[in-house]
Amino acid sequence: MTSQTITAAASGTWKLGDRTVHRIGFGAMRLPQHGEALVPGAVPRDRDQAIKVLRRAVELGVNHIDTAAFYFSPLRCANELISRALAPYPDDLVIATKVGPGRDPSGNWLPHATPEQLRGQVEENLRQLGRDHLDVVNLRIVGADSIAERFGALAELRDAGLIRHLGLSNVRLHHLAEAQAIAPVVCVQNMYGIGASPEQEEFLRICGEQRVAFVPFYSIAGSGRTAGASTGDSGEVLAIARAHGVSTAQVRLAWTLHRGPHVLAIPGTGDPGHLAQNVAAGALRLSEDELTVLDSIRHETA
Ligand SMILES: NC(=O)c1ccc[n+]([C@@H]2O[C@H](COP(=O)([O-])OP(=O)(O)OC[C@H]3O[C@@H](n4cnc5c(N)ncnc54)[C@H](OP(=O)(O)O)[C@@H]3O)[C@@H](O)[C@H]2O)c1
């Protein structure tokens, strides 16, 4: 079976609230530009190319797409590309977005949204995606401060029918309990990949116990973060990739999926070949010995 014929169904499914998704999804952050994401003056990606990648992802069975209104370059915006490529949306497609951060029209970061400003960010996503409600909204934060007021504001929008499910992003463990006292949390989207710290592992494990989806970002990019994937794969990752005849990116993704049935991958790419590889990673089964080797790699992404 070649990468081209493996679909996202091979990765299995998970229920995000009342919505069933394949465990291999797609992150839209790479689509608006070439090169580094989230920087002013980034080089816009060709619109047709971005649209082709999105449509191919859905053809390959991807039904969980991560986005944000702040994913844009001077000429492209991830939400607009998603709307152009995929509307009218397939019934099974779950689009998850995130609020909290914001960028001005030139792409410079703004202070994070206050509880009062979150409604405007939710409405911005609704407008750009052309929807009447958002499937999943993650509150994306920085720091350790209380999220009660901000999450409470989103819970009110959920009660009002603008949001179906709520999640959290870039949070610490205490934030999960704080949010759950206010409204159900269906997912936690945090940085995670090979070399994760014991704290990151603990968070992933607790999410599994509580049936909360854990959605890692930068599982391929690692310490390259917004700049993208680096070439710095460790010897262990390279050896396992060679043994399976796959890329190191596929090993990285497959390893995250082996961490538990509640882990949902959202690899980002603007490259159709990489997209097919990433979807095919859902069919890659690593042996116990290989998992032990990969589990023991430390500080690659921490
Ligand atoms: N909540 C948050 O704070 C947060 C933060 C960052 C990202 N996210 C979300 O998480 C998603 C995933 O993060 P990401 O897109 O930065 O990182 P990623 O999926 O870990 O890696 C993307 C990088 O790896 C490259 N790549 C992808 N597939 C590849 C393959 N098969 N072989 C070789 N290189 C490959 C991409 O370049 P090419 O385009 O050349 O393939 C890009 O440079 C984002 O798209 C976004 O939706 C959330």
Pocket test for ligand 1, best of 79, 98, 220, 251 (most atoms within 8 A of CB): 220
Q: What is the mean pLDDT of residues 131-154?
A: 98
Query: pLDDT tens, 182-225?
Result: 999 999 999 999 999 999 999 999 999 999 999 999 999 998 99
Separation of CA 161 and ligand 1 centre (Å): 31
Output the pTM of the full model.
0.97
What confidence tier does 5 reach under pLDDT thresholds 50, 70, 90? confident
What confidence tier does 49 reach under pLDDT thresholds 50, 70, 90? very high
The verdict on the CB of residue 72 being under 6 Å from ligand 1 is no
Q: 């970002």: which residue's tokens?
A: 217
The verdict on the CB of residue 3 being under 6 Å from ligand 1 is no
Residue with CA nearest ligand 1 atom 6: 217
Q: What is the mean pLDDT of residues 155-166?
A: 98
> Of 162, 211, 224, 212, nearest to 188 (Cα)?
212
What confidence tier does 86 reach under pLDDT thresholds 50, 70, 90? very high
The verdict on the CB of residue 222 being under 6 Å from ligand 1 is no
For the CA of 227, the closest atom of ligand 1 is: 43
The verdict on the CB of residue 228 being under 6 Å from ligand 1 is yes
Are 203 and 213 in contact by the 8 Å Cβ rule? The answer is no
Which amino acids are annotated catalytic? Answer: 71
Separation of CA 269 and ligand 1 centre (Å): 6
Among 70-74, 232-236, 250-254, which stretch is predicted with the lowest mean pLDDT?
A: 232-236
pLDDT exceeds 90 at position 162 = yes
Q: Decide which of 102 and 231 is more confident.
A: 102
Separation of CA 29 and ligand 1 centre (Å): 7
The verdict on the CB of residue 64 being under 6 Å from ligand 1 is no
- pLDDT value, residue 1: 47
The verdict on the CB of residue 185 being under 6 Å from ligand 1 is no
pLDDT exceeds 90 at position 232 = no
Pocket test for ligand 1, best of 79, 137, 226, 274 (most atoms within 8 A of CB): 274
Question: Would you tell me which CATH number, out of the four given (3.20.20.100, 3.40.50.150, 1.10.3720.10, 3.90.1150.10), belongs to the domain 20-295?
Answer: 3.20.20.100
Residue with CA nearest ligand 1 atom 11: 27
Tokens linked to 277: 């590889």
What confidence tier does 4 reach under pLDDT thresholds 50, 70, 90? low
pLDDT exceeds 80 at position 2 = no
Are 24 and 281 in contact by the 8 Å Cβ rule? The answer is yes
What confidence tier does 300 reach under pLDDT thresholds 50, 70, 90? low
